[in-house]
Amino acid sequence: MSVQVTLDRVDKAFTNRRTGERQQIFRDFSFTLAPHELVAVVGSSGTGKTTLMHLMAGLERPDAGRVATGGGVQPRLGMVFQQPRLLDWTSVDTNVRLAARAAGVDPAEVPRILAAVGLTEYAQAYPSVLSGGQRQRVAVARAFVVQPELVLLDEPFSALDELTARRLRLLLQELWLREPRTGLLVTHNALEAAFLADRVLVLGGRPAEVVREYRIDRPRPRTPEDPELFDIHRQIVAALA
């Protein structure tokens, strides 16, 4: 269950509402996300990482060029944001069940995905009583229960302490190993990018361009302590600097 996404010579600009200045985010930008590939995008704030994700999700349209997907239809999306964006007035089970129902997925999948993210015993709990890491596990479950063809992850672990974020990176790797998807990860964490991704793109400039690309050839499952990942991490940080 996967899809290819291609940005072909895309232009995208926004007008600053305060100054009226036209800000060119992308010009003649091309990029292909291959089936079953997880690509991480890193770069300083304002380089277009989130705009790239919104273009791929169909939330923004290019001013020129095209965003193409296999089959010519918008793929089924699973999205995980920096904040979980849960419905605090209903249970964990219902939060995930509503996502499944909206996607036309059999709600019988809900117990399986809750088990996969380690939340079976919290199925009837309300999000307000969960820790930050548990809430983000619910967000991951909601993204994966829809059986997505494309998974978009917008700094999903940046609001968590490092130990909790590490656990969730390992969980995400486990979910990917069980059923590979096509995915785009936006992150400021170079080690997270190296650990999770098949490729890491460093965006820079305005309009944005890919200033460095790293292919991560380490086999999965990976360990966060792998010295080769630390070496790639150092290279990415140097490129960002």
pLDDT digits (tens, 9 = 90+) for 45-66: 888 999 999 999 988 999 999 9
Of 148, 173, 191, which residue constitutes the final position of a domain?
148
Domain containing 33 — which CATH number? 3.40.50.300
Residue 70 has pLDDT above 90, yes or no: no
Same domain, 108 and 227: no
What's the average model confidence in pLDDT over 179-206? 94
Range of the domain at 99: 86-148
Q: How confident is the model at residue 144 (pLDDT cuts 50, 70, 90)?
A: very high
Strand order from edge to edge, sheet including 182-186: 77-80, 150-154, 182-186, 38-42, 199-204, 209-215
Cα separation, 92 vs 171, in Å, equals 18
What's the average model confidence in pLDDT over 145-170? 92
Same domain, 165 and 207: yes
With H, G, I as helix, E, B as strand and everything else as coil, classify residue 171.
helix
Cα separation, 45 vs 223, in Å, equals 28
One-letter amino acid identity for 32? Answer: T
Residue 81 lies in a domain: no
Q: What is the pLDDT of residues 9-48, one digit of tens each?
A: 999 999 888 888 889 999 999 999 999 999 999 998 888 9
Strand order from edge to edge, sheet including 22-33: 22-33, 5-15, 64-69
Overall number of domains in the chain: 2
